[in-house]
Structure 1
Amino acid sequence: MTGQPGTTQRFFRIDGSPVHVRREGQGPVCVLSGGLGCSWFDWDLVVGLLAPHRTVVRFDRPGYGLSAPARPAPSAAGEAERIRLLLDALGLTEPCTLVGHSIAGFHVEAFARLHPGRAAGLLLLDASTEPAPHPRPAPALRDLAARTAAAAAGALAVPYLCGPLGRRLVARASTVRREDLAPAELVRRCYRPRRALRAALRENSRYLDVAAELAELRERAPLPEIPVTVMAADAGRGTRRSARWLDRQRELAELLGARYRTVAPAGHLAMADRPDAVARAVLELP
């Protein structure tokens, strides 16, 4: 499944690059944004449950899915602005619920702080969290290194030969079901080009910078008075690492004054393991 009846697929030019966006369903608007390396189809199971009740907007950040690479380096403010421009292009200007998975949790929180009148609620799904982040030195040099590494890998056909397999292995490691439900044809189409590797390397190289940017934003731009849910994935393994992760998720909820809940059993790709719980949490928000 890659879309619901009445699905609209569009490409909008944002910062000079075509961005793939899909709109489906009816009702209040809900925006879904996936983590590092995710594509639009990672939300398919959740969208199937939401579309009868929500107008669902999901998109591919630059380089992922069907979106072209972007020139600017990733930033929290840049991704928040991308969401705003996509909603404007779709003519959806009313306040909306935003779901940010993993690193996209930074992006949707930044959106709510920078555009408080446009956010009706937040769901941070196993979201990235850094208690005291500091930006790393030489951001431009690191971004250049990421782009150069992706170009070298592309010249050697590494993404073409290994991209789909790498996607499969990461997805299997990130779900308790140990499988990737994404259609093989779409995985090949989206992960063979070097743009996905380039995007992942760039986002990873800027991760702490974006976390530090959001920490600074929290100091000067208050979160609007909207309901926020922090939902942590619990695979049920009971390891020290998983316990630390759940502790950090609770701390994030406390920091934001959010409701905290766990979804179990679920890996990091909780939308694949427990789409029912994710959809239910979205529908509890405005």
Structure 2
Amino acid sequence: MTHPGSGRFLRVDGTALHTLVQGEGPPVVLSAGLALAWFDWDEVAALLLAAGRTVIRFDRPGHGLSAPAPAPPTAAGEARRIAGLLDALGIAGPVTVVGHSLAGFHAEAFARLHPERTAALVLVDSSVEETRPRTLLPAALRTGAARALGWALTATGLPAALGPAVRRAAVRASRAGSRAGDPAARGLVRRCYRTGRVWRGILLENSRYPDTAAELLALRPRHPLRAPVTVLAAHDGTSGRAARRWLARQAALADRLGARFEVAAPAGHLLMLDRPHQVARAVRYATERR
């Protein structure tokens, strides 16, 4: 069954990626954070389409409707995946690449490794690591444990029973305001989050977070950014220590990248849901100031 708003599948690096391309004009690639899907960009995409942009959304392997991940993700590998997706779509010119949360690592890696294909970089409440993350277990052991746990969850039937409810609870917890919920269509949520494939993909990607962060830190001195950068940070409107520290880290990231810094408030981590107009405006401005 084809749900409204779903796209097509393109084979990139041997993996079938679910991809949705809409509109005409300067291209924008939207990549969502860990455990999210293409439809989480719906409101931002609608605003960009109205502003005359070609909007490209895709699900990383194991996310949304895309096929399972053939191997653990890396920063360079995800940058190559974006480039391969653009090749498959026949888009040779530069794009504005937008990364939310963990996908901020991937978007920045793309901008550094493919400067000729990058018009602008926008980081939306991006993950940030100032130093190499410490790990207790080697990468291979973490990956093996993530795979084993994913298959065990699938075997118990928990994704089918609880997957959509867990997704909705996580979205509510990541938004600002007590009444903020999950705006995604229930049919789409069930279609994605009732599958063990998605939860295995989430666990696998999360298990390699510290390695991806360390890889990006190593890329920075060797591959300078040439495109304009915007760092858009979420602030929930409180004056708590955690909120102030997060803003300080985002501001430091902007300073490190020579980026324009902007705060979105009140907003939770899912900025594309809480402040879609501000996200779309930041994307438009990033391209226009190039």
State the match for 2:236 in structure 1: 235
- Corresponding letter in the other structure for 2:26: P
Gap regions ≥5 residues in structure 1: none
State the match for 1:10 in structure 2: 8
Q: Deviations over 1:74-100 (max 9, x none)?
A: 110110001000011001110010110
Assess, with a 3 A threshold, how the Cα gap between structure 1 residues 16 and 269 changes in structure 2: closer, same or farther.
same
Assess, with a 3 A threshold, how the Cα gap between structure 1 residues 108 and 240 changes in structure 2: closer, same or farther.
same
- Cα distance in 1 for partners of 2:33, 2:4 equals 18
State the match for 1:284 in structure 2: 285
Tell me the C-alpha RMSD between the 2 structures: 1.3
Aligned length, in residue pairs: 281
- Corresponding letter in the other structure for 1:263: A
Q: How far apart are residue 37 of structure 1 and its match?
A: 0.3
Q: How far apart are residue 119 of structure 1 and its match?
A: 0.3
State the match for 2:63 in structure 1: 64
Name the SS of the counterpart of 1:13 in structure 2: strand
Preserved CA contact (<8 Å) 1:39 1:65: yes
- Cα distance in 1 for partners of 2:14, 2:141 equals 22
TM-score calculated relative to the size of structure 2: 0.94
- Cα distance in 2 for partners of 1:10, 1:117 equals 27
State the match for 1:161 in structure 2: 161
- Cα distance in 1 for partners of 2:145, 2:233 equals 33
Preserved CA contact (<8 Å) 2:101 2:125: yes
- The aligned runs of 1:184-199 (5 Å cut-off) are 184-199=186-201
Name the SS of the counterpart of 1:219 in structure 2: coil
Q: How far apart are residue 50 of structure 1 and its match?
A: 0.5
TM-score calculated relative to the size of structure 1: 0.96
State the match for 1:217 in structure 2: 219
Preserved CA contact (<8 Å) 1:164 1:187: yes
Gap regions ≥5 residues in structure 2: none
Q: Quote the sequence identity (%).
A: 55
Superposed structure 1 runs of 4+ greater than 2 Å apart: 134-137
Preserved CA contact (<8 Å) 2:12 2:88: no
- Cα distance in 2 for partners of 1:100, 1:86 equals 15
Preserved CA contact (<8 Å) 1:135 1:212: no
Q: How far apart are residue 10 of structure 1 and its match?
A: 2.0
Preserved CA contact (<8 Å) 2:232 2:263: yes
- Cα distance in 1 for partners of 2:133, 2:282 equals 32
